[in-house]
């Protein structure tokens, strides 16, 4: 079984109590391997800072959640893959190919990374990313 690629919008549900967190937890527990990229690490850190600035969480919670995330990475629960220049080139091709999808640049980059890793399934809570992933032939687990 190949790993599922987890985007930041879905991964946040593992660490923060959000709508569909229980569904994502059940999904993640069924998976043999969960794959993320260095982009996910960066986006997750940004997501936590944004939540702190909007006062959804405080600074202590932000640090506690990111520490738990880093522990999961160190323990191998989450497999982190590096960013490569080839991913940016592939993301550009995806944006060109899926002109009718309002993809953001970082979402196209997630799709390019998932494709390069050869995963069959993407988990996301982002409707636009989910629709684009399906158009590219990925199996999609949606948590939006």
Residue reference for tokens 């593992």: 14
Predicted pLDDT at 2: 62
Residue 90 has which token pair? Answer: 């592939």
Per-residue pLDDT in tens (0 to 9) along the chain, 144 residues:
468 999 999 999 999 999 999 999 999 988 877 899 999 999 999 999 999 999 999 999 999 999 999 999 999 889 999 999 999 999 999 999 999 999 999 999 999 999 999 999 999 999 999 999 999 999 999 998
The answer to whether residues 94 and 128 touch, using CB atoms and an 8 Å cutoff, is: no
Predicted pLDDT at 33: 77
Where helices occur in the chain by DSSP H, the ranges are: 8-15, 21-30, 38-53, 59-74, 85-97, 105-117, 127-135
C-alpha span between 26 and 74 (Å, rounded) = 22
Predicted pLDDT at 1: 44
* CATH number belonging to domain 4-142: 3.40.50.1010
Count of alpha carbons within 13 angstroms of residue 31, beta-carbon side: 23
């Amino acid at each position: 079984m190949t790993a599922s690629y987890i985007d930041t919008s879905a991964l946040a549900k593992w660490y923060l109590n959000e709508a569909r967190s229980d569904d994502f937890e059940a999904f993640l527990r069924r998976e043999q391997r969960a794959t993320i990229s260095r982009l996910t690490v960066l986006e997750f850190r940004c997501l936590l800072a944004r939540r702190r600035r909007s006062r959804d969480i405080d600074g202590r919670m932000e640090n506690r959640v990111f520490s738990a995330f880093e522990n999961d990475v160190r323990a191998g629960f989450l497999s982190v893959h590096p960013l490569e220049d080839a991913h940016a080139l592939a993301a550009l091709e995806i944006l060109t190919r899926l002109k009718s999808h309002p993809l953001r640049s970082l979402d196209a980059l997630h799709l390019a990374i998932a494709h390069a890793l050869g995963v069959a399934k993407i988990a996301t809570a982002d409707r636009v990313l989910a629709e684009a992933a399906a158009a590219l032939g990925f199996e999609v687990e949606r948590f939006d």
